[in-house]
Structure 1
Amino acid sequence: MEKIYVLDTNVLLQDPNAIYAFQDNEVVIPAVVLEEIDSKKRLADEIGRNARTVSRLLDGLRTKGRLYDGITLDNGGMVKVELNHKSFAKMQELFVELTNDNRILAVALNYHVEEQSKPTPRPVILVSKDVLVRIKADVLGLTAEDYLTDRVVSGSEMYMGYVNVHVHPSVIDEFYSFRQLAVSTLNLGYSLNPHEFVILRDELGTSKSALLKVNGDGKKLEPLYLSNEPIWGIAARNAQQRMALELLLNDDIPLVTLSGKAGTGKTLLTLASGLMKVEDEHKYKKLLIARPVVPMGKDIGYLPGEKDEKLRPWMQPIYDNLEYLFDTKKSGDIDKILAGLGSIQVEALTYIRGRSIPGQFIIIDEAQNLSKHEVKTIISRVGEGSKIVLVGDPGQIDHPYLDAASNGLTYVIERFKNEQVSGHITLERGERSHLAQLAADLL
């Protein structure tokens, strides 16, 4: 075994299978980590579920031997629960307080000192999702790393859903003449995904251009089928919004993902499309709108009233958009409209587990605050004849254990980008107001 990895609690609470992610190296779980996991196992959320999963995994390994001595894994590595290296003596000069984080650091430091006394010392690496723990480790002279195995993709490689391609003007003329184009004509050197969009631009510098979409098998480029007519009073204001509407209104694409900064029109476009499909075309029986109950900043605690009254503050952004689409004049008008229609349902994601949802247009707002497990649970609820749209901004995550590269929305975007049943667009240009666009760019 070449390296020793000491795991922080947050790594296991983020990914219960992290003990198998370090190949043939030794994985050390400090005893204090077990105590922290034990304190989380009764929680009813994703963290509690992961704490219980870790407990079951370690209990299963315990049948193969003593965790204190170390148990060999199938990948050739070893996992052990550490009890001997918990002395705090070497830590006291720098970090006096006996916190759980400092106790984990003490285990890593004691391992490091012990290894340095050997003829062929092994590197000791502390793995933590906590930035300050990694900084403290650096102060102590320890190597510390973030846990990146759960990341789907790096930020610079995130799938945008469209590409800009500069071609000879004759290629653009050919497309307008025949209304289609073979992907191979572009000589890209890489393949395009189903339902990916292509913006052709003249390589000679003129204003000649064309907007195309890859067909389902990824071999042909076709024109957009929708005109830029307003939908429930909403018209696309830029190319990316037009691409989004093309996906949202296509009944042959049951999974659509939209990402982008605040004010780019993600939720408004999706709601307008859903209303058109449900109320005008009657393609779906119901419009179901849901969002995770994750607060931004300090939680406001328990709320009074029945379920609908409790959910109203969390769902208010949805109601704001609906009020704009229905052009209501007075407070409370939107509630009367929704009660009269009966085909629009707004609720929290808390109640979606166990359901089967056929024949509905489903919108999941703020999907960036979902974990991989949660987003799998949601999409697997989709029944026959339903369409689901995941909307969110990976740059605005309020969940303590997720980031832009490991959240459920990014996970779905990357896993489904090669599938014919899905389409994705990243909206970049803010359309809410000039001030909102400046805030998104500068703050």
Structure 2
Amino acid sequence: MKKIFVLDTNVLLHDPQAIFAFEDNEVIIPAVVLEEIDSKKRLADELGRNARQISRLLDGLRDLGHLHEGIELEGGGVLKVELNHRSFLRVQEMFGEMSNDNRILAVALNYHLEEIEKEAAKQVVLVSKDVLVRVKADVFGLKAQDYLSDRTVEPSDLYSGYINIHVHPSIIDEFYTYRFLSIKSVPGASKLYPNEFVILKDEMGTSKSALLKVSSDGARLEPLFLSNEAVWGITARNAQQRMALELLLNDDIPLVTLSGKAGTGKTLLALAAGLSKVEDEHKYKKLLIARPVVPMGKDIGYLPGEKEEKLRPWMQPIYDNLEFLFDTKKSGDIDKILMGLGSIQVEALTYIRGRSIPGQFIIIDEAQNLSKHEVKTIVSRVGEGSKIILMGDPQQIDHPYLDTVSNGLTYIVERFKNESLSGHMMLEKGERSKLAQLAADLL
């Protein structure tokens, strides 16, 4: 049975293409949504870009007919702009204030009340990324849901970058004898991705095990390229960190993504690998480290001082790790070191737009706060001979319209997991300190 979907403003600001995501159902845009979109279109950030895009889309659709009367979309659905759908009284009795959210809720509620009086009633669904709007809808018995069409994967199915497989001990012995295994010879290894890691464990329960990596063509399991030696003074403390370093130091994998909660070593490992590649091996001309000023594109002019002084509070986590790697003793020493080297650049993502970045080792921290479009913008800046690292914690998101599965980091992990040019590792064990690990688990 066909449904009627009433869209909140935040759905269109999150994904301007959302109007085409409801197949052959009816899509309603309340008039107040157009007012809210109009108020955002002059912004210089992601919200402003999306507001302008949905404005152009709606303007183009006017060629098909009058939006307030409803026009047919390619997928068989109908799009309609609701000008003034009956009364606000029912919502006002419950919540009082005539806010924009309540006006949107009133449109959905009045449609619902109209439909239940019909013989062939359609279900009315309010679609909003605002949790409280959905809660308000429940008060009236109105069905409400989050916008799910942009989800690349369910939270329980997030790609970790490695898999544990229990096998007969003879298979582990075969690997140590021949130093490789055919994918077909390992039970349970048929659905592995290029550059995914495999931990083989003895199904008999002994301590016998092996750590392998899927080849770039996905045909065989190979030993790790690197031994567990120190990289710029940093040694892997667990299997996931060792696998992460394998990806970070492999020049044949230009895109690496790291995810994990606070204290798992994402930033430290990436910086150590970058310093090794730039300063020791001279594989790349420069180490570029950037993180979003949340949200990306937000003007930082309200902070005092020159650009470097403005950026320092946002970039301090990067400087903390650099101070540890360079073993500085006094405050300010790291600035002198970076100035002397000249090959390490710390930037805000605000300044990366429009650039082409060849021959550099690029680290993007806090990538979970990026949208799909922002991630595309950043990765498309990568020039010939560069390597880019995107890392963050999908559980720690500050962006108002993103969640664990709709953020840019998760999006790029899922879209690139089949590609031989990329690798991913989900770090799980905290190594900052026992206290930090306990806090991450308990709090």
Post-superposition, which runs of at least 4 consecutive aligned residues in structure 1 deviate over 6 A?
none
Distance 2:261 2:243 in 1: 16
Distance 1:301 1:44 in 2: 14
Contact kept, 8 Å, 1:294 with 1:399, in 2: the verdict is yes
Contact kept, 8 Å, 2:167 with 2:187, in 1: the verdict is no
Corresponding position of 1:215: 215
Q: Deviations over 1:13-47 (max 9, x none)?
A: 11100000000111000001111111111111111
Contact kept, 8 Å, 2:167 with 2:186, in 1: the verdict is yes
Cα distance, 1:353 vs structure 2: 1.1
Unpaired runs of at least 5, structure 2? none
Corresponding position of 2:428: 428
Distance 2:84 2:267 in 1: 54
* SS of residue in 2 equivalent to 1:5: strand
Contact kept, 8 Å, 2:212 with 2:224, in 1: the verdict is yes
* SS of residue in 2 equivalent to 1:147: coil
Q: Structure 1 pair 300/339, CA: closer, same or farther in 2 (3 Å)?
A: closer
Distance 2:332 2:164 in 1: 45
Contact kept, 8 Å, 1:359 with 1:384, in 2: the verdict is yes
Contact kept, 8 Å, 2:70 with 2:81, in 1: the verdict is yes
Cα distance, 1:216 vs structure 2: 0.6
* SS of residue in 2 equivalent to 1:319: helix
Corresponding position of 1:291: 291
Contact kept, 8 Å, 2:259 with 2:426, in 1: the verdict is yes
Contact kept, 8 Å, 2:184 with 2:190, in 1: the verdict is no
Corresponding position of 2:137: 137
Distance 2:12 2:191 in 1: 37
| TM score, norm. by length of structure 1 | 0.98
Whichever residue aligns with residue 129 of structure 1, its letter is: K
* SS of residue in 2 equivalent to 1:405: coil
* SS of residue in 2 equivalent to 1:93: helix
Q: Structure 1 pair 295/82, CA: closer, same or farther in 2 (3 Å)?
A: closer
Whichever residue aligns with residue 123 of structure 2, its letter is: P
Cα distance, 1:374 vs structure 2: 0.4
| TM score, norm. by length of structure 2 | 0.98
Whichever residue aligns with residue 79 of structure 1, its letter is: L
* SS of residue in 1 equivalent to 2:346: strand
Cα distance, 1:86 vs structure 2: 4.4
Corresponding position of 1:343: 343
Distance 2:190 2:156 in 1: 17
Whichever residue aligns with residue 261 of structure 1, its letter is: K
Distance 1:397 1:115 in 2: 38
Matches within 5 A, 1:44-55: 44-55=44-55
Matches within 5 A, 1:140-151: 140-151=140-151
Distance 2:204 2:360 in 1: 47
Contact kept, 8 Å, 1:86 with 1:103, in 2: the verdict is no
Distance 2:333 2:267 in 1: 20
Corresponding position of 1:409: 409
Distance 1:10 1:308 in 2: 34
Across the aligned residues of Structure 1 and Structure 2, the Cα RMSD in angstroms comes to: 1.4
Q: Structure 1 pair 358/189, CA: closer, same or farther in 2 (3 Å)?
A: closer
Contact kept, 8 Å, 2:300 with 2:310, in 1: the verdict is no
Whichever residue aligns with residue 184 of structure 2, its letter is: S
Cα distance, 1:391 vs structure 2: 0.9
Distance 1:259 1:345 in 2: 23
| 1:180 lines up with 2:180 in the alignment | yes
Cα distance, 1:136 vs structure 2: 0.7
Distance 2:440 2:253 in 1: 30
Corresponding position of 1:13: 13
Corresponding position of 1:93: 93
Deviates more, 1:265-274 or 1:302-311: 302-311
Q: Deviations over 1:352-395 (max 9, x none)?
A: 11111110000000000100000000000101000000011101
The alignment covers a number of residue pairs equal to 441
Corresponding position of 1:323: 323
Cα distance, 1:189 vs structure 2: 6.4
Contact kept, 8 Å, 2:199 with 2:210, in 1: the verdict is yes
Deviates more, 1:160-169 or 1:185-194: 185-194
Distance 2:400 2:53 in 1: 19
Cα distance, 1:295 vs structure 2: 6.9
Matches within 5 A, 1:68-83: 68-83=68-83
Contact kept, 8 Å, 2:295 with 2:369, in 1: the verdict is no
Contact kept, 8 Å, 2:31 with 2:84, in 1: the verdict is no
Contact kept, 8 Å, 2:367 with 2:408, in 1: the verdict is yes
Corresponding position of 2:370: 370
Cα distance, 1:95 vs structure 2: 1.5
Aligned-pair identity (%): 78
* SS of residue in 1 equivalent to 2:91: coil
Contact kept, 8 Å, 2:183 with 2:189, in 1: the verdict is no
Corresponding position of 2:116: 116
Q: Structure 1 pair 94/217, CA: closer, same or farther in 2 (3 Å)?
A: same
Distance 2:243 2:121 in 1: 56
Q: Deviations over 1:182-204 (max 9, x none)?
A: 11111216421111000000000
Distance 2:124 2:389 in 1: 44
Corresponding position of 2:153: 153
Contact kept, 8 Å, 2:183 with 2:190, in 1: the verdict is no
| 1:397 lines up with 2:373 in the alignment | no
Corresponding position of 1:191: 191
Whichever residue aligns with residue 49 of structure 1, its letter is: R
* SS of residue in 2 equivalent to 1:388: strand
Cα distance, 1:164 vs structure 2: 0.1
Whichever residue aligns with residue 152 of structure 1, its letter is: T
Distance 1:30 1:354 in 2: 36
Q: Deviations over 1:72-129 (max 9, x none)?
A: 0011101010023141122232111111111011001111111112121111111111
Unpaired runs of at least 5, structure 1? none
